[in-house]
Homo-oligomer: A and B are copies of this chain.
Amino acid sequence: MSRTTIADVARVADVSKATVSRVLAGQSKYIREETRQRVQKAIEELGYHPSDMARSLKSKRSCTLGIVGYGLEFFGPSCTISGIEQEASELGYTLLLHLIRQPETNNVEELLERMQSRYVDGIIWAVPEIGENHAWLEDKTLWPSVPIIFLSTEPRPDRFVAAVDNHNGGMMATRHLIVQGCQNIGLITGPLDWWEARQRKLGWKDALESVGLPRKEGYVVEGNWSALSGEHGLTQLLTRYPEIDGIFACNDRMAVGALKRARQMGRRVPEDLAIIGYDDVQDAEYFYPALSTMRQDMIELGRLAVRKLGQVIEAGHNDVLCPPEAVILQPELIVRASSLLRK
């Protein structure tokens, strides 16, 4: 047996499909109470549920958001998606999820087309800006015909963006080390083709400059976000510049790699070497020593993105598709044992 349709309800309630539709819509006052009840009764009797499919086809609205995500195996992105889903759910949207494995996806066009052919009401592009992977934005013919918001990408006058202030985050982390008394602060960055990594590095630089601390080129080593690269980074830094007494690792994974290697190299953390990470991954306090870090509320970022996008969708089809806007969240300094230096 197939779905019960609005026609079935109409037949049972002995009214037209139009009337049933009106009862369904709810707001329309032009329905006699008696009729409404008869229809309601038929609906319940039949256990009728309208087909979102048919509805969307006609209305060109699907109450669906297209989500393009990346790196769900990692903590940050997972939280972002979770936040997106929370808010979307509250606002009555469902998610169409697509994950990208290679950040340089080239089938952007197909992807966007697929989502649009399902009448998504808006799109959230939650793929970090890496290298040229956002170059497709230059080609305006690819721009979707629905609002699209970009997460964790560089704000620009033609985009709708939500991101965490990585530059400030980098500054805060570095300043904290300075306040703790570090004199020579090394940096283990993420891959520098990541916009976020560059921003954090910039924060480190600016923080040092503002207080006139040394900032040799060699104090910087580029990791790849992995713990192993944190280990390598630390080895490089300390062998070449033994005077280094503070490390800002641009994510927690590299930080714990550094933590481990420092121990192996006989450096006490934090007495000889203060270390701070970035992300505040789950149970960061259970590393040894407990890891200081920058917390960024990715769940809130996700929620915020949906909320903003929702507003744009509501405002709707009137004029501009996407008001160029940048929503920036601030990270938070979390001080734990790994950076509690001279006291």
Closest B residue to A145 by CB, please name it: B3
CB distance from A101 to the nearest CB of B (A): 7
Q: Is the CB of A53 within 8 A of B283?
A: no
Chain B residues within 8 Å of A143, by CB: none
Contacting residue for A86 out of B57, B101, B260, CB 8 A: B101
> A75 to chain B: which residues have CB within 8 Å?
73, 75
The residue in chain B whose Cβ has the minimal distance to the Cβ of A231 is: B286
Binary per-residue interface labels of chain A (283-303) against chain B in the complex, 1 for a CB within 8 Å, 0 otherwise: 101111000000000010000
Q: Are A53 and B118 in contact (CB under 8 A)?
A: yes
Q: Encode A42-53 as 1/0 by CB contact (under 8 A) with B.
A: 000000011111
A256 touches B283 (CB 8 A): yes
User: Cβ of A259 < 8 Å from any Cβ of B?
Assistant: yes
Q: Which listed residue, B53, B72, B96, B98, touches A119 by the CB 8 Å rule? A: B53
Q: Do residues B227 and A283 form an inter-chain contact, with CB atoms below 8 A?
A: yes
Interface string of A74-99 (1 = CB under 8 A from B): 11001101100110010000111111
Q: Are A62 and B72 touching (Cβ within 8 A)?
A: no
User: With an 8 A cutoff between CB atoms, is A21 at the interface?
Assistant: no
B96 in contact with A94 (CB, 8 Å): yes
A96-B95 in contact (CB<8A): yes
CB distance from A12 to the nearest CB of B (A): 19
A222 interfacial by beta-carbon distance below 8 Å: no
Contacts of A118 in B (CB 8 A): 52-53, 94
Looking across the interface, which residue of chain B has its beta carbon closest to that of A259?
Answer: B286
What is the bound-complex CA distance between A99 and B62, given in angstroms? Answer: 18
Contact of A11 with B by CB under 8 A: no
- A263 lies within 8 A of chain B by Cβ: yes
Which residues on the B side are within 8 Å of A73 (C-beta)?
75, 78-79, 82, 282, 299
Known: A117-B50, A286-B227. A85 touches B57 (CB 8 A): no
- With a cutoff of 8 Å between Cβ atoms, the chain B residues found around residue A98 in the complex are 85, 89, 94-95
Q: How far is the CA of A66 from the CA of B259 in the complex (A)?
A: 42
Interface centre among A51, A86, A299 (most CB of B within 10 A): A51
Given B52, B89, B97, B119, which contacts A117 in the complex, CB threshold below 8 Å? B52
- From the candidates B74, B114, B256, B263, name the one contacting A52 in the complex (CB within 8 A): B114
Q: Which residues on A are within 8 Å of B, measured CB to CB?
A: 49-54, 56-57, 62, 64, 67, 72-75, 78-79, 81-82, 85-86, 89, 94-99, 101, 113-114, 116-119, 227, 253, 256-257, 259-260, 263, 282-283, 285-288, 299
Q: List 21 A-B contacts (CB under 8 A).
A: A49-B116, A51-B57, A52-B117, A53-B118, A54-B57, A67-B97, A72-B81, A73-B75, A73-B79, A85-B97, A85-B98, A86-B101, A89-B98, A94-B96, A95-B98, A253-B283, A256-B283, A257-B283, A260-B288, A263-B288, A287-B288
